[in-house]
Amino acid sequence: MSRQIEQRANQIKGQLEEHDYRYYVLDDPRITDREYDELMQELKQIEEQYPEYRDLHSPTQRVGGAPRAGFVTVNHPVPLLSLDNAFDEHSLRQWQQRISKLTNGTLTYVVELKIDGLSVALTYDAGRLSVGATRGDGTVGEDITANIKTIPAIPLKLRKPIQQLVARGEVYMPQEAFLKLNEEREAAGEALFANPRNAAAGSLRQLDPKIAAKRNLQVFVYDLLVLRGEELTMHEEALEFLRNMGLPVNPHRKICDSIEEAIEYCHSWTSRRNQLSYDIDGLVIKVNSLQAREELGRTAKSPRWAIAYKFPAEQKPTTIKDIFLRVGRTGVLTPTALLDPVHLAGTTVTKATLHNEDFIISKDIRVGDKVIVQKAGDIIPEVVQVLTEKRAGNEQEFIFPEYCPECGAKVIREEGEAAVRCQGGLACAAQVREGIIHFTSRNAMDIEGLGPKMVEQLLNSGLIKTLADLYYLTKEDLLGLDRMGEKSADNLLEAIERSKENDLYQLVFAMGVRHVGLGASKSISMHFKNLAAISKATEEELTAVEDIGPKMAKSIISFFAEDQNQAVMRRLMEAGVNQAKAVSERIRDLEGITFVVTGTFPGYGRKEAQALIEERGGKVSSGVSKKTDYVLYGEEAGSKLEKANRLGISTIEVGDLQQVLDDCANRG
């Protein structure tokens, strides 16, 4: 009898998985909602009566478990990069010309809709969903597996037991679901979500998966990041493969033989975007050939083989009520217009950036002007046109001050620069404040509980004057602040203490060196391995690092030449803040050597093999090309090994992996 019950449970699971695939992927349902619910109810009854037949990947387990205390972090196996943007045809053609010079052969492109949602990575091991994670900073995200499982369109089990598959997708909220959610929140007296993208992000980051399950989230998968056990050559082929595995792939895409055909397809969606049941903010043009992608590579932030075409921004008229200046962490005075509220691209806009002094002069922007505003890239509000014909004569010109509005120091505008800068340096409270806020931010030292308001309170109370002072705060100091109890003080001190163990790149980024972003911070840290070496590096040594140009090198040298910055570094070191790369002590004898790893390795996982190579400075590439030095292969190696043999590339069979790596280093 028990055997028959187990067979029936497995039969229902298979039927439900098949019906999910037909409904969410093929858009070809074969049963009614009622029939589907009856099958689900029967399975629930079996699992309640016979719990031994219930597992984590059962269709009944999409929503379960108690709310979580918080999210843990996940290291992505492949960086989830952001895309460069293009806003016109000229930019798209320039991109095509750039990449054509970097690869051989004729390129074809796949053009896809750019879904306006939250980017996620889905990992399947042995065909079963193991991890769902947010993009985070591209290298580290948050584990939101429990919430991911609540999205019916995401299969808990692939249609084939693939060894490992990591896919990237976009979780979104359909417009109808968004309107319904906001109606419910309004009726309950809760704050409304600004747009479907914010609603989707807020839903996925709920600690209680039961709340996420009620939000009617959907997903489209658009990139195959990792695939073990299969070989593919084209992106279009990868999309079809994902679809055949049961993952939802957007049907609106086109293979284009030229950039002109791609541009035409982009234009065709400008007017059609409102016909969709979900929001898109543009299209993405991708090189189809996976081999060409490998050759094109990436910059510090973006792949060279793809670009996002953003739709022309929505524009609305409004009035400039006032103009005020904000002093940033590098001393730049940025003018901002205070506007009459206007609804634009899904949100209510009350401020718009005016960029710099030249921008105000060139457009003759005055307080009281009627203007046209838009969101640059559908994100940042900006003034695009002054309606001079509507002037009444009482509008006022805006003149940049001679002295900083925050600290009273002289402001200057260096020759060749558009920026007006305060010369107050560390004597300028605004620069110190913004610098410390940046230092504590998520991609920098990531000190939870040290937001802008807390930083301002610490500064105003005199407890800190520089960012290094954060590491000398005591519990008694914190208990003297407004609304600071013992538990909050303990939590903040623990967060500050944890940040001492951060990787070197986080510290480099946190210090706010001008022109040095997160990607460059990682490259610099990997190359020099400790902060002392970075601070003493010459321009020649710095520009030898990938992603570092002369302008950035000069900025780094100038930063570390300042006595005040050197003093902050010493105070951080004395406080015990890590100033060395975590792997600085490892042997890095494989630098400059490129490997391709293929097949299965008895005693090792593919990830472990790749990690050993990368820890010793080697590069692991996904495709075999003329730039490949060695192909490291195990059992069941396929087309990559065959291609290596055709190209005459050295191949090494895995035996004693450590000895193999040592041999490679000696030969390199």
Mind telling me the catalytic residues?
A: 114
Chain centroid, CA 81 distance in Å:
6
Chain centroid, CA 641 distance in Å:
33
> What DSSP letter does each residue of 109-148 carry, written as one string?
EEEEEEE-SEEEEEEEETTEEEEEEE-TTSSEEEB-HHHH
Amino acid occupying residue 473 = L
Q: Which two tokens stand for residue 584?
A: 């600085």
102 DSSP 8-state letter = T
Of 527, 553, 513, 329, which Cα lies nearest the Cα of 429? Answer: 329
Of 430, 421, 495, 483, which Cα lies nearest the Cα of 459? Answer: 430
Q: Residue 326 and residue 318: Cα distance in Å, rounded?
A: 22
Neighbours of 203 (CB within 10 A): 24
How far is the CA of 442 from the CAs of 136, 145, 453, 546, in angstroms?
9, 21, 15, 24
- Terminal-residue alpha carbon distance, the chain: 64
| Whether 659 contacts 604, CB under 8 Å | no
Q: Residue 593 and residue 629: Cα distance in Å, rounded?
A: 6
> What DSSP letter does each residue of 408-432 carry, written as one string?
--BEE--TT----EES-GGG-HHHH
Q: Residue 317 and residue 226: Cα distance in Å, rounded?
A: 47
Characterize the bridge pairing of strands 594-598 and 630-633: parallel
| Contact partners, residue 660, CB within 8 Å, separation at least 6 | 632, 652, 654
Give the Cα-Cα-Cα angle 449, 452, 454 (nearest 5 degrees).
Answer: 55
How far is the CA of 296 from the CAs of 90, 302, 425, 589, 644, in angstroms?
21, 11, 41, 25, 19
The full length of the chain comes to 668
